[in-house]
Structure 1
Amino acid sequence: MSLPPSRGTQYEAGLKYQPPGWNAMLTAAVFQITQTNVPKTVAPGDVRQIGEVTNQGIELEAVASLGSGWDVQAGFTWLDSEVTKSTELDLHHRPTMVPEVTAALWTRYTFQAGFAEGLGLGAGVRYVGSTYGNDTNTLKVPSYTLYDAAVSYDLGRASPALTGVELAVNASNLFDETYVSGCEVDRQCYWGQGRTVLGTLKYKW
């Protein structure tokens, strides 16, 4: 079935601040997005469109290099979302699978000298707040927290002939947490992604 295109209007205002004497950047933004013809699953295999959804919220982000190979990045989003036009039961309710709060923190340390020079270690945490799984917001899907990790090595530190080559291993959902990522209708929910480990070999020139 062919559906009309979804359209939207967005307004946003933000600030950026770099603290004196710090290699860091702090950003804050407020926004409002109004979308029309938003597709929605009302039953397994049955996709329809909502008349209008209004989203407004706040985004905060901080990125900093603390010196000696230590980097930190953090983000936070608060989102107020409401179905503002609809002929269905979801009118004036929160859309399904849309969390009110999400947050993330990532830190990475790269050894600058010694036997481990060129070795990088990273760790992070992601939080996704609870969502609703039906039109009337009576089915609540719990929040979840996931942990990630990464190890990398700059092979150019071991041999000049390998300058620009980096070997890395990244793990998402490190502890293989079992969780429900969201529900679209009462009988259609989705398990979240389990532990994923990805190895990469990169070359930069």
Structure 2
Amino acid sequence: MAAFDIRKQNVQTSDPFNPLLTLQTGEVTSNGFEINIGGEVLPGWNLTGGYAYVNAFVSQDTTSIVNNKIPNVPPNQFTLWSTYELQEGAAKGLGFGLGLFYIDNRYGDLDNSFILPSYFRTDAALYYRRDNWRVQLNFENLFDVNYIKNATFDYRLALDPGRPFSVSGTFRIDF
């Protein structure tokens, strides 16, 4: 668990009137808390969860953006990841995982003129490990949800979409 109150001066942000230029704001503040918990529920079954609340805003400036929210910073984020690995038998070492990720609405620019919508994404994993090696398949965005990851240059016409459904594989040997 962590609580924080961070203040930074002269942070560069995109100019709300020209996204190709940057401005230095007087001071930005980020405060909130984060809590993470994880452990083994039963032999082979692990759960990890987390929640974060972040209040990020311009706290001092000579322009009208004081108290505006910092772009691309969601006030609420939630994650839950669960894995289960078989402990006995011929399939010992075979594991499955499921991850849930929630990102709240957030402003897309420093002027707070538009909002990026919240999204909920589901990931999964299938793996097998034995001795010093492991093979794994990861399935990101399992239900192929369309979502906006962030706004580049704090500009409504430069939105970065989240990855569509994708599969990646890894093979690892530890020496």
TM over 0.5: yes
- Label 1:89 to 1:192 Cα distance change in 2 as closer, same or farther (>3 A): farther
Q: What's 1:145 paired with?
A: 120
> TM-score scaled to structure 1, two decimals?
0.78
Note if contact 2:139-2:168 (Cα within 8 Å) is conserved in structure 1.
yes
SS at match of 1:166: strand
- Report the AA paired with residue 117 of structure 2: P
Q: What's 1:171 paired with?
A: 139
Q: What's 1:104 paired with?
A: 79
**Tell me, which stretches of 5 or more residues in structure 2 are unaligned?**
none
SS at match of 1:44: strand
Note if contact 1:135-1:185 (Cα within 8 Å) is conserved in structure 2.
no
Number of positions where the alignment pairs a residue of Structure 1 with one of Structure 2: 171
Q: Give the CA RMSD over aligned residues.
A: 1.6
Counterpart among 145, 155, 158 of residue 188 in structure 1: 158
- Report the AA paired with residue 201 of structure 1: F
- Label 1:182 to 1:88 Cα distance change in 2 as closer, same or farther (>3 A): farther
- Label 1:188 to 1:50 Cα distance change in 2 as closer, same or farther (>3 A): farther
Note if contact 1:89-1:135 (Cα within 8 Å) is conserved in structure 2.
no
1:118-160 residue CA offsets vs partner (Å, 9 max, x unmatched): 1010001000000012333231211001111111101x3xxxx
**Alpha-carbon separation, structure 2, partners of 1:197 and 1:51:** 44
1:23-65 residue CA offsets vs partner (Å, 9 max, x unmatched): xxxxx22111111222212233222322211011011111111
Higher RCO (CA 8 Å, separation ≥ 6 residues): 2
**Alpha-carbon separation, structure 2, partners of 1:189 and 1:86:** 27
Q: Equivalent pairs: percent with the same residue?
A: 30
**Tell me, which stretches of 5 or more residues in structure 1 are unaligned?**
1-27, 157-162
Larger Rg: 1
Counterpart among 32, 38, 48 of residue 11 in structure 2: 38
Note if contact 2:126-2:138 (Cα within 8 Å) is conserved in structure 1.
yes
Note if contact 1:103-1:126 (Cα within 8 Å) is conserved in structure 2.
yes
Q: What's 1:6 paired with?
A: none
1:84-133 residue CA offsets vs partner (Å, 9 max, x unmatched): 12234422111111110011000000001123211010001000000012
- Report the AA paired with residue 138 of structure 2: N
Note if contact 2:52-2:76 (Cα within 8 Å) is conserved in structure 1.
yes
**Alpha-carbon separation, structure 2, partners of 1:67 and 1:204:** 26
